[in-house]
Amino acid sequence: MRKALSLLNLLFTTIFLCIIALIISPFDGRGNLIHRIARFWASTHIRLGGIEVVTSGLDKITAPPYIFMCNHQSALDIYGLLYSLPLSFRWIAKRQLFLIPLFGWALKRAGHISIDRENPREALKAMDEAARKIRDGMNIIIFPEGTRSRDGSLLPFKKGGFSLALRAMVPIVPVGIVGTSALQPKGSFIPARKGVIYIHIGDPMPLEGMNRSAKGEVMNSVRTSIERLMQKGGSGSDR
């Protein structure tokens, strides 16, 4: 029964809230109202799925804008981040998501950034636009692995997010997410079972004084930080 309710909720709230987002978008230039709708959407999915989210390190988020870089195990990561982070942010997502009727249109109206991985020129333009928006105060979330890990281990990082960070020159905040792959495996639309996920927020990493040649160094530092945060497992809580 719980799984059936979760699936029906996901279907109907996605459609209904996307329509609401599209209606209000002309009056929501910065997309913050749509972000609140997205948080409500995520919270219903989390609660009906029987998921508890335990977050640590929220006290480190004091001077946005930031670029958050997170490991990626499951679609549940997205709901967990929307549910737990107490600030407005936007995703960098693949172009195909923006082509989905209603959902993709709402993503675009909210100001999320589309990346066409098959068109390097358009991808570069999107990165320049994202860097400008970040410097203007927008927080961004990136999954540097570029896809979800099936076994929970950290995959190799893509370089694009680090190029963006060195264009924008705002701090990177590493985030380690634990437990989502077990509760909602890759390919699942709803949680397979009840449980707890842990979101560990690391110390912001300033980029002042670095140039684009430091991309490899920054990437390695972020990877090390995320690995350490993932190793914390179920420890720590700000809730």
pLDDT, one tens digit per residue, over 61-115 is 998 999 999 999 999 999 999 999 999 999 988 888 899 999 999 999 999 988 8
Give the model's pLDDT for residue 239.
Answer: 47
Q: What is the pTM of this model?
A: 0.91
- CA-wise closest residue to 89 among 105, 68, 109: 68
- pLDDT tens per residue across span 138-177: 999 999 998 888 777 899 999 888 989 999 999 999 999 9
* pLDDT of 230 strictly over 50: yes
Give the model's pLDDT for residue 173.
Answer: 97
Spatial distance between the Cα atoms of 10 and 81, rounded to a whole number of angstroms? 17
Spatial distance between the Cα atoms of 151 and 74, rounded to a whole number of angstroms? 10
SS3 content of the chain, % helix, strand, coil (to 5): 50, 15, 35
Q: Mean pLDDT, to the nearest integer, of 33-37?
A: 95
| DSSP class of 96 | G
Q: Are strands 195-201 and 89-94 parallel, antiparallel or unpaired?
A: unpaired
Give the model's pLDDT for residue 51.
Answer: 95
Spatial distance between the Cα atoms of 108 and 105, rounded to a whole number of angstroms? 5
- CA-wise closest residue to 231 among 100, 71, 46: 71
Structural tokens at position 205: 């990493």
CA distances 129 to 92, 123, 150, Å, are 11, 10, 31
- pLDDT tens per residue across span 177-190: 999 999 998 878 88
Q: Mean pLDDT, to the nearest integer, of 198-204?
A: 97
* pLDDT of 235 strictly over 70: no
